[in-house]
Amino acid sequence: MIARRRADGTDVLIWKALSENPLATNVAVAEKTGLSRNTIRARLDRYEREGELKPFERRIDPAMLGYTLRAIVLTTVKQRQLDEVAATLRFVPEVIEVLGLSGVADLLVQVVARDADDLYRVAGDILGTDGVKRTVTGLVMRNMVDYRISPLLRSSRPS
């Protein structure tokens, strides 16, 4: 496992302010947190450089682009072909996330589709990928709990 830097109190203050208002300016974050603008700018630069902030595209709803169906494709892969399969799936535009798993399957592939026929095609593309042994597809009916970090920030005890 890669050793990662742990958040400190300054990080938590900045992230709380940004989670409340993601489009806040550096000046607004400085005012909200009581930190200097230079501190805010330096921290934001470091977060970007170290990959601690996720891309803006995570906030775009695929349904706005016509992809109204979302599905999870649990994928079992032939031994030692995990990296190759994941690399190939990067080229399927409808694949919006791939997570490596242990247990029930090797990969959890989140996909979007325009309709049922499109989902059938996308699922077939995944199954047809060299190295994939089998897939199980489940249609996402609705979000029960959206991706969130704010509860962690509120309960955070930075080092």
Q: What is the pLDDT of residues 14-24, one digit of tens each?
A: 999 998 998 99
Q: What is the pLDDT of residue 1?
A: 45
The pair of structure tokens assigned to 66 is: 């016509």
| Contacts of the segment 81-84: beta carbons below 8 A, 24+ positions apart | 81/130, 81/131, 82/106, 82/107, 82/131, 84/130, 84/131
The pLDDT value given to residue 2: 56
> What does the pLDDT average to over 13-34?
93
CATH architecture of 62-139: 2-Layer Sandwich (3.30)
Domains of the chain by residue range:
9-53, 62-139
- CATH (one of 3.40.190.290, 3.30.70.120, 1.10.10.10, 1.10.3660.10) for 9-53: 1.10.10.10
- The count of C-alpha atoms lying within 13 angstroms of the C-alpha of 54, restricted to the half-sphere facing its C-beta, is 11
Note the pLDDT tens digit of each residue in 81-95. Answer: 999 999 999 999 999
Q: What is the mean pLDDT of residues 106-126?
A: 97
